[in-house]
Amino acid sequence: MGSRHDKGAEDGQQSLTDPPSGHSITPGDLLDQNASPTPKFVYLLAFFSALGGFLFGYDTGVVSGAMLLLKKEMNLDTLWQELLVSSTVGAAAISALSGGFLNGWFGRRICILLASFIFTVGGVTMGVAPNKEVLLVGRITVGLGIGIASMTVPVYIAEVSPPHQRGQLVTVNSLFITGGQFIASVVDGAFSFMKHDGWRYMLGLSVVPAILQFVGFCFLPESPRWLLQKGQREEARQILSQIRGDHAVDEEFDTIKASIEEEEREAGGDGFILMRILNHGPTRRALIVGCGLQMFQQLSGINTVMYYSATILQMGGVRDVKQAIWLAAATSASNFVFTMLGVWLVERVGRRKLTLGSLFGTGLSLTLLAVGFLLAAQSSSPVTLHPAVPLNSTCGHYEFCEPCMLDPGCGFCFLENGTTVYDSSCVPVNETSKDRAAWGRCSNQTEETASPIWAYNYCPTSYSWVILMGLMLYLAFFAPGMGTMPWTVNSEIFPLWARSTGNACSAGVNWIFNVLVSLTFLHVAEFLTYYGAFFMYTGLVVLGIVFVYGCLPETKGLQLEDIENLFMGPLCSCGTSSPNDHRHVQYIRVKGNNYLPSDNEASDVE
Ligand SMILES: O[C@H]1[C@H](O)[C@@H](O)[C@H](O)[C@@H](O)[C@H]1O
């Protein structure tokens, strides 16, 4: 790997470790270089590509509010509700996996255009859907768009960004994801009053950012790194100069070119890329780190916590559906706001520390959530009324709310005076709508305050504040690190030839574990109880800490072409493969300002 670095010296440039006489390079010099303004064009590229992240967030987030209206209007049973929610995530998993091929073959720009086209078609299909079958087709279509966008956008942003700002700009994509989820919850709130057709607006509005992105990308350029890999040198050089503004790009261009040639030599040019990745030590290790991060992101339970937030709020006494919708918007707003913290921190503390700190806090908050659920279970309200239930129902056996609500066939029907629960019973749930009981006092839900309350999947508790605190802390810790870093790190750890396939695999792992965790949550809770489920997530987060501590190197500030060096050593070297240990000497022109070196040194003096 040394050849391209020696080249700089031949060109008369100076090594950082060997400053020219009369000019010793101080950290201040490096800071100045790194601080040179980033051309506005890069921000424009980041914005238009991150609209893909926005659509990812919007389309995954909007469905919960739309479902409240849809299930009434289309009379959806539980199976159809689950289909409409999970089909999108399932389709995203499949298209993310196949997106690697599209990305490598047709380029990042075409893939982003394709994703925004698919989002538009999906949005229109959902907006005009005459029946649930067409709606399902629309949901699957947007899922296909999400999968492609989720693996292409971070790669594209990483490839056009200058090294010292790459982390921040790629993390902006995660900010757009959580921003999309937040806007979706606001749109859900705003249209929830439209009992008829409100869902059409909720689902259909996604065409607006999709069209904006499509039109924008008709005018925006391809990634110069991809073009260079495809041998289109002149166009690559021209685009790189356009993106870098007045900075000359010879150095960066030569580095990318040399590294592509070297990579092809080292990794061999034949065979399936996935096989080449697996047969080549550094890329195999990068793949394990990338997929592991994505797996632990989902195993930390983010989507369970987000999905479950409305129920958590109901436990705390928010029984009005409208109020619950708005408070759920507050949950996604927190996720969004704390993601901003991640954008701010990523270039300051680096990826490794941010991920570790985030996992640590996530583990503590999950413990708090689990303890809250444990306290709630232990003080669970007794069943005081025992109406005759059909013999085939298990609901008549329960003496307390806790086992009653853990049985998917039953719910808790009660009256409330302040925080005191009375006249409570455990009765079968209506199979077509879980919002009411199959028969009896809770089978006909009215808005009257004196009418009995139907609690499905939750129990009233005075410990809801512990759970609520756990929820808020969880988002504060998860969002800036584990919510963002898996996407950011994956966009930078693979060499160019392996980047599309590597990201396709890791994004696919993210979506597969997303489906797995959301589909199994209620069953896990049924077997382990809620506190058991949250203790289990805590255990998985502890495994995540061991994995990240052992295997995640710091990639902050390095040029993409140098990151492969971090994976030369053994897989888990406990962070010792930091950039400073494996850094190759980088060369800069001391006079003239045409190349941005790594900002490792800058960070040391920050
Ligand atoms: O990074 C994102 C983000 O944290 C979202 O809030 C979550 O829903 C996604 O599953 C995750 O991939």
- For 326-381, the pLDDT digits (tens) are 878 888 999 999 999 999 999 999 999 999 999 999 999 999 999 999 999 999 99
- Residue 295 pLDDT exceeds 70: yes
Among 86, 297, 298, residue to substitute to test ligand 1 (most atoms within 8 Å of Cβ): 297
CA–CA separation, 203 and 135 (whole Å): 10
Q: Answer yes or no: is the C-beta of 335 below 6 A from any ligand 1 atom.
A: yes
Q: What pLDDT score does 482 carry?
A: 97
CA–CA separation, 253 and 246 (whole Å): 15
- Residue 42 pLDDT exceeds 80: yes
Tell how far the Cα of 144 is from the centroid of ligand 1, in angstroms.
Answer: 17
Region of poorest pLDDT, from 266-275, 364-373, 447-456, 594-603: 594-603
Q: Answer yes or no: is the C-beta of 332 below 6 A from any ligand 1 atom.
A: no
Taking the alpha carbons of 482, 485, 490, 494 in that order, is the dihedral positive or negative?
negative
Contact between 506 and 281 under an 8 Å Cβ cutoff? The reply is: no
Q: Answer yes or no: is the C-beta of 339 below 6 A from any ligand 1 atom.
A: no
CA–CA separation, 363 and 316 (whole Å): 23
Query: What's the whole-number mean pLDDT along residues 262-274?
Result: 72
Q: Answer yes or no: is the C-beta of 294 below 6 A from any ligand 1 atom.
A: no
Q: Ligand 1, closest atom to CA 339?
A: 4
Q: Answer yes or no: is the C-beta of 185 below 6 A from any ligand 1 atom.
A: no
CA–CA separation, 547 and 292 (whole Å): 8
Q: What pLDDT score does 110 carry?
A: 97
Tell how far the Cα of 513 is from the centroid of ligand 1, in angstroms.
Answer: 12
- Residue 8 pLDDT exceeds 50: no
Local confidence band at 150 (pLDDT 50, 70, 90 cut-offs): very high
Region of poorest pLDDT, from 12-16, 441-445, 458-462, 489-493: 12-16
Task: Provide the percentage of residues in the chain whose pLDDT is more than 70.
Answer: 85
Query: What's the whole-number mean pLDDT along residues 181-200?
Result: 92
Q: Answer yes or no: is the C-beta of 358 below 6 A from any ligand 1 atom.
A: no
Tell how far the Cα of 11 is from the centroid of ligand 1, in angstroms.
Answer: 46
Q: Ligand 1, closest atom to CA 150?
A: 12
Q: Which residue has the tokens 């913290």?
A: 341
Contact between 81 and 68 under an 8 Å Cβ cutoff? The reply is: no
Region of poorest pLDDT, from 162-176, 318-332, 548-562, 565-579: 565-579
Rg of the chain (C-alpha set) = 26
Nearest CA to ligand 1 atom 4: 483
Q: What pLDDT score does 52 carry?
A: 97
Q: Answer yes or no: is the C-beta of 171 below 6 A from any ligand 1 atom.
A: no
Q: 212 CB contacts (<8 Å, ≥6 apart)?
A: 48, 51
Q: What proportions of the chain, in percent to the nearest 5, are helix, strand and coil?
A: 70, 5, 25
Write out the DSSP string of 177-207. HHHHHHHHHHHHHHHTT-TTTHHHHHHHTTH
Contact between 470 and 362 under an 8 Å Cβ cutoff? The reply is: no
Query: What's the whole-number mean pLDDT along residues 521-549?
Result: 92
CB neighbours (10 Å) of residue 40?
Answer: 9
Q: How would you classify the pairing of strands 587-588 and 14-15?
A: antiparallel
Region of poorest pLDDT, from 246-260, 527-541, 543-557: 246-260
Region of poorest pLDDT, from 79-83, 146-150, 282-286: 79-83
Q: Answer yes or no: is the C-beta of 303 below 6 A from any ligand 1 atom.
A: yes
Tell how far the Cα of 330 is from the centroid of ligand 1, in angstroms.
Answer: 16
Q: 436 CB contacts (<8 Å, ≥6 apart)?
A: 429, 430, 442, 443, 444, 445, 454
Q: Answer yes or no: is the C-beta of 506 below 6 A from any ligand 1 atom.
A: no
User: Is the pTM value of this prediction over 0.95?
Assistant: no
Local confidence band at 537 (pLDDT 50, 70, 90 cut-offs): very high
Q: Answer yes or no: is the C-beta of 150 below 6 A from any ligand 1 atom.
A: no
pLDDT, tens digit, 9 for 90 and up, residues 474-502: 999 999 999 999 999 999 999 988 999 99
Among 293, 302, 340, residue to substitute to test ligand 1 (most atoms within 8 Å of Cβ): 302
Local confidence band at 193 (pLDDT 50, 70, 90 cut-offs): confident
Q: 227 CB contacts (<8 Å, ≥6 apart)?
A: 107, 233, 235, 236, 239
Among 59, 86, 88, 178, residue to substitute to test ligand 1 (most atoms within 8 Å of Cβ): 178
Q: Answer yes or no: is the C-beta of 295 below 6 A from any ligand 1 atom.
A: no
Q: Answer yes or no: is the C-beta of 331 below 6 A from any ligand 1 atom.
A: no
CA–CA separation, 337 and 445 (whole Å): 36
CA–CA separation, 307 and 331 (whole Å): 10
Local confidence band at 445 (pLDDT 50, 70, 90 cut-offs): low
Q: Answer yes or no: is the C-beta of 514 below 6 A from any ligand 1 atom.
A: yes
Query: What's the whole-number mean pLDDT along residues 237-246?
Result: 87
Q: What pLDDT score does 69 carry?
A: 86
Cα dihedral: 372, 378, 382, 386 (round 10): 100
Tell how far the Cα of 483 is from the centroid of ligand 1, in angstroms.
Answer: 6
Q: What's 400's DSSP letter?
A: B
Q: What's 38's DSSP letter?
A: P
- What is the rounded average pLDDT for all residues in the chain? 84
Structural tokens at position 167? 């982390």
At residue 571, the 3 state secondary structure works out as: coil
Nearest CA to ligand 1 atom 11: 483
